[in-house]
Amino acid sequence: MKIKQIEVSGVHATDNVRARVLIIYTGGTFGMTHDKSGALIPFDFSSIVEHLPTIKNLGLAFSVFTFETPIDSSNIRPEHWEVIGKIIFDNYSSHDGFVVLHGTDTMAYTASALSFMLQGLNKPVVLTGAQLPIIDPRSDARENLITALEIAAAKLNGQAIVPEVCIYFDYELLRGNRSKKVESMQFDAFDSGNYPPLAKAGVKIDYNQAAIRKPDNKPVSLLTNFNTNIAILKLFPGIREPVVRAVLDTGGLKAVILETYGSGNAPTSPWLIELLAKAINSDIIIVNVSQCPGGMVVQGKYETSKELKRIGVLSGADMTTEAALTKLMVLLGQYSVEACREMIEQDIAGELTT
């Protein structure tokens, strides 16, 4: 995967700036333009000032890294997360904040992954993108990028105001590992149903200080090993035993995210409980997350979740599926199964309510 650092014409890094921000352009709708036939293709990011001249007036110095071949976010893989994380880590000391331009379809996965990869983070990493290309007259790309840059540069008493991985979209700043894409046709593409916005942008940016994660003052470090031997099993009325068995019998499987009903409820069919128990006894981690966009798993609250708790299914509390998946990938890439069982129910990066 080739990455290049580019010079943005008209924007120069000088000593007389209020902050230094690194931009990583991965692709997505944000940076699309039309070719001669009218089809959408990635544009040359070095021409960003032509599309967004206001960027020169922010009083910021920029470094810009771009994927040499921008990708649709539907093609994102852990290898891309590793590249993004390494760029941030390698340039961490020389920049005040980071903005990642990313397609919306998998942005919540990438934001969640980065939150677990970047241990000891005390600077902003803001992911943003657009529902319409920047060349479109009604594009949301301009406001999203300008405000994301402002947030990435924002300080109070010399410290970053938002020292965590987050998503900025449609005038709201959300914690990255609490976010989900909920809309494909409107500008308010993301929501964090179980956590309040970190900031709202109007005439000024109003930060919700009580909701923003406090830095732990540890040196920043980067975790880049991923274990992707994970499955998502969504329960539905009428789900059949062969389907569940096929998922749980997948070769090399290390963990399953079980998407249950309501507050963690599942059918009480003996065959389902037996299959799940057999998997757990074979050292497969099973994490219970709710299909609901809000609320949380409380195993044992109803009769239909008591058996899950008894056989050793772990509670995902109020984690999103995106957070649970990327958390498991990172944990299983670093630690033993026993350690992962303990850590999955612990709050690592603000992803769950303890």
Kindly report the CATH number assigned to the domain that includes residue 254: 3.40.50.40
User: Are 210 and 246 in the same domain?
Assistant: no
User: Are 201 and 274 in the same domain?
Assistant: no
**Pairing, β 40-42 against β 32-34:** antiparallel
In a domain, 14, yes or no: yes
Q: Which of 14, 26, 29, 320 is catalytic?
A: 29
- pLDDT band at residue 69, thresholds of 50, 70 and 90? confident
Instruction: Give me the residue label for tokens 């399953």.
Output: 256
Residue 219 has pLDDT above 70, yes or no: yes
User: Are 61 and 184 in the same domain?
Assistant: yes
- Residue 113 makes CB contacts below 8 A (sequence gap 6+) with 78, 81, 326, 329, 330
In a domain, 247, yes or no: yes
Q: How far is CA 102 from CA 27, 30, 55, 252, in A?
A: 6, 8, 18, 31
Amino acid at 100: V
Of 8, 19, 96, 14, nearest to 52 by C-alpha is 8
DSSP for 164-213?
SEEEEETTEEEEGGG-EE--SSSS--EE-TTS--SEEESSSEEE-TTTSP
In a domain, 110, yes or no: yes
**CA gap 301, 63 in Å, rounded:** 51
Last residue of a domain, which of 222, 241, 264? Answer: 222
DSSP for 217-251?
-PPPEE-------EEEEE--TT--HHHHHHHHT-T
Residue 337 has pLDDT above 90, yes or no: yes
Q: What is the pLDDT of residue 43?
A: 62
User: Are 143 and 172 in the same domain?
Assistant: yes
User: Are 171 and 282 in the same domain?
Assistant: no
User: Are 179 and 263 in the same domain?
Assistant: no
Q: What share of the chain is helix, strand, coil (3-state, %, to 5)?
A: 30, 25, 45
Count of the separate structural domains present in the chain: 2
Burial of 346 (0-12, 13-18, 19+ CB in 10 A): exposed
Last residue of a domain, which of 205, 222, 239? Answer: 222
- pLDDT band at residue 53, thresholds of 50, 70 and 90? confident
- Residue 11 makes CB contacts below 8 A (sequence gap 6+) with 49, 55, 56, 61, 62
Q: What is the pLDDT of residue 204?
A: 95
Last residue of a domain, which of 172, 192, 222? Answer: 222
In a domain, 349, yes or no: no
User: Are 209 and 273 in the same domain?
Assistant: no
Amino acid at 208: N
Of 300, 230, 218, nearest to 260 by C-alpha is 300
The whole-number average pLDDT for the span 226-236 is 98
Biggest alpha carbon–alpha carbon distance for the chain: 69
User: Are 238 and 142 in the same domain?
Assistant: no
The rounded percent of the chain whose pLDDT value lies above 90 is 70
User: Are 208 and 280 in the same domain?
Assistant: no
State pTM to two decimals: 0.93
User: Are 170 and 188 in the same domain?
Assistant: yes
Q: How far is CA 226 from CA 89, 223, 322, 347, 352, in A?
A: 17, 9, 15, 19, 21
Q: What is the pLDDT of residue 89?
A: 98
Q: What is the pLDDT of residues 89-127, one digit of tens each?
A: 999 999 999 999 999 999 999 999 999 999 999 999 999
Q: What is the pLDDT of residue 227?
A: 98
Of 178, 333, 354, 318, nearest to 255 by C-alpha is 333
Q: What is the pLDDT of residues 16-40, one digit of tens each?
A: 788 999 999 998 767 666 566 666 5
Residue 146 has pLDDT above 60, yes or no: yes
Q: What is the pLDDT of residue 354?
A: 84
In a domain, 351, yes or no: no
Of 142, 165, 181, 173, nearest to 31 by C-alpha is 142
User: Are 319 and 176 in the same domain?
Assistant: no
In a domain, 340, yes or no: yes
The range of the structural domain enclosing residue 302 comes to 230-344
In a domain, 73, yes or no: yes
User: Are 302 and 326 in the same domain?
Assistant: yes
In a domain, 354, yes or no: no
Which tokens go with 275? 């299959």
Burial of 35 (0-12, 13-18, 19+ CB in 10 A): exposed
Q: What is the pLDDT of residues 278-301, one digit of tens each?
A: 999 999 999 999 999 999 999 988
Of 129, 137, 122, 123, nearest to 107 by C-alpha is 129
- Annotation marks residue 250 as catalytic: no
